[in-house]
Structure 1
Amino acid sequence: MNVLKAWILPQVILGKSAVFEFEYPSNMTVLHATDDSKCTVLNGTCKETSSTCEGLYKPSLCAGHVNRQCCVASSTYDTIECTGNHRHHARGTAYYPDPSPEEGGYFDMRGFPLQTLQAYMKGMAPFVTVAMDSHPGIAYDTPVCIPELNRKYRKFIDFRVRDTGGAFQGKKFSRIDIYVRDRHDSYDGTINGPLTLFFR
């Protein structure tokens, strides 16, 4: 059995946001896309993750169940060690689903659900939400590559700057907050350490 986290909109349950976990059979169909066009535009191929991929598997670009993902060449998307025109050194922290102002809730700066690192690693999220200072010209949904975390998990992780907060004002590129599953995961030593940020 696997665990599926489902977002329940605020108005549905007692006027508050909530996250519920449901167990579901491993062969259950979980639709990530209505077709394979998002994969083919990257010159990728949709296939079972049990099959060999001469590159990287990227979730949420193929129709079908959770283990049917897009195989793209490493040069098409990115590599574990990261490439980019702009590199910065930052101190990492983590936040998690919680209604308190300190943790920031469940939705990003534009009202879309925050995506956790753990959901991404299970192929259940298209990217990982991170929060940074919005003032130095970092646009919403800007991709950022973090080699320290790619090495830890032995795969490329698609981090996206989609959130911010008062704690980041004036920090520019020196702080990054990574969205994780729960409080326990927020204590991860690699996340809460020096990180290198690559921007294209």
Structure 2
Amino acid sequence: MVTSPAPATPLEAELLRLAGSVPDPELPVLTLEELGVVRAVHVLSADSVEIELTPTYTGCPAIEAMSLDMERVLREHGIREVSVRTVLTPPWSTDDISPEGRRKLREFGIAPPRTVREPGPVTLALGPTRTTAPETGTGTQAPDTRDTNARDTDPVHCPHCGSADTELLSRFSSTACKALRRCLDCREPFDHFKEL
């Protein structure tokens, strides 16, 4: 989990709290602080601040909405000039989602990302660029819905009943950061916030 340096002043700490309280535009059940994308707030002058924001991925379509919402909140609290700077290093990871954020995702019906990775280098296995489909015995090929992530040995638990007996229906769901799964016990479909 990436931790931001401690705010230098009590004012920066308060402004960081305010900026972080903004709901995520794609997952309004989470605040930007719980999602782990607001890295820091720097006071530049008496009425000017800069917010450091790390998007969940570089092409995130919600970055403009996040920026505008944080600017609005800080302006409502007396800051005239608010700028948002996109910071890509260190990159955001699902490990940055707070425990409270993970709890809220589960309660909202979205399976949170699986196990937190260990610090240090990440093992990467390269494979084919296209998904291969197994034979179905009917002369056609069924889509391959097997997970290929190294964490796939860890089950994705159903946020509705808690069962670990779930299956992948689609690698993409309502947003690029989620997959669509179904519980084989309660039969309910659900989103799974993919690990990154």
TM-score by length of 1: 0.21
TM-score by length of 2: 0.22
Q: Which has the higher helix share?
A: 2
* Larger CA Rg, structure 1 vs 2: 2
